[in-house]
Structure 1
Amino acid sequence: MSLSLLPVDDRVSVSGQLDPSDMKEVAAAGFTAVVNNRPDGEAFFGQPKTADLKAAAEAAGLQFLDLPFSGPRATPDQVRALADLLASGDGRVVAFCKSGMRSALLWGAASLANGRSIEEVLQGARLAGQELSGIAELMTGLAQAARR
């Protein structure tokens, strides 16, 4: 596989920017859903439009969830949406943004909302090259708000 999909647990991987042309390869690798955490227009050039990503994902048989946010500003609703997706089935999920950091943050908060420990979340993120210990409190707060 030429894509850099980094696992954070046995079902979820994070990635930097995906392109519409990547979606068939994502599906062939056994993933069933793609989560976009990058807002349209974040880059002046080279960033695919969400509509194109969604169309390519769906054409490849993938579920597409659009949960874009900037910086660490995920919302409890976005955390709940990902937590619900993760709790609803056993298919593999890849979440992407520019570098994978936002996707790891959202996965971490969703995992906490679904009952994982902060230690499990931080270890999973480290396996994918993402250090989230500095935002553990933020993820915990998002998880708590998402459970309400």
Structure 2
Amino acid sequence: MDIRKIDETISVSPQITVDDVAELARLGFRTIVANRPDHEEPGQPLMSDIEQAAKTHGLDWVYLPVESGNITDTDVDSFAPMIRDAEKPVLAFCRSGTRCTILWALSAARTEEPASVVARARNAGYDISGLTPRMIQQASHQQ
């Protein structure tokens, strides 16, 4: 697993497997968020199998599939309250971790300065500086 910590509340990762879930529980994660749709690419694990493993290990599970390259404000509207209310720490995953980082960034930008959001993402290995105009726009969607 390639877990990338954004802050104390959320980390992101590329695709996880059923076998990774026990390790995530051991590491102290409380919620797993899947931002990747089933069948996005051949051979990826079924989300229902990962969900079952999460429940077996006492973790909360959230399935919030988002189309890669097409994150809408509606997606952010769903992600923002979920991540705010989720039991922390959270691990969110998708194919590469980028989609999760963008969802987090756009929701965080509703209450935080974009520069701070960009810096935390950069520290986790994701350059989202190109999202700054959209993050500024998100400030008007505070929930």
The answer to whether the superposition gives a TM-score over 0.5 is yes
The aligned amino acid for 2:142 is R
Q: Match for residue 43 of structure 1?
A: 41
The aligned amino acid for 1:125 is A
TM-score relative to the length of structure 1: 0.86
Shift of 1:62: 1.0
* Structure 1, gaps ≥5 residues long: none
Residue deviations 1:83-111 (CA, integer Å, cap 9, x gap): 22332266100111111110100110121
The aligned amino acid for 1:19 is T
Measured in 2, the distance between the counterparts of 1:140 and 1:58 equals 37
Is 2:120 the counterpart of 1:124?
Answer: yes
Q: Classify the secondary structure of the residue corresponding to 2:42.
A: coil
* Structure 2, gaps ≥5 residues long: none
Residue deviations 1:29-81 (CA, integer Å, cap 9, x gap): 11111111111111112x00111111111111111111112223223333233
After TM superposition, where is structure 1 displaced by more than 4 Å over at least 4 residues in a row?
A: none
RMSD over aligned CA atoms reads 1.9
**Percent of counterpart pairs with the same letter?**
31
TM-score relative to the length of structure 2: 0.88
Shift of 1:140: 4.2
Gap change, CA 1:118 and 1:10, over 3 Å in 2: same
Is 2:102 the counterpart of 1:105?
Answer: yes
The aligned amino acid for 2:56 is A
* Residues 77 and 146 in structure 1, CA contact (< 8 A), matched pair in contact too: no
Q: Classify the secondary structure of the residue corresponding to 1:24.
A: helix
* Residues 38 and 98 in structure 1, CA contact (< 8 A), matched pair in contact too: yes
Is 2:142 the counterpart of 1:147?
Answer: yes
Count residues with an aligned counterpart: 143
Measured in 2, the distance between the counterparts of 1:66 and 1:145 equals 26
Q: Match for residue 8 of structure 1?
A: 6
The aligned amino acid for 1:78 is D
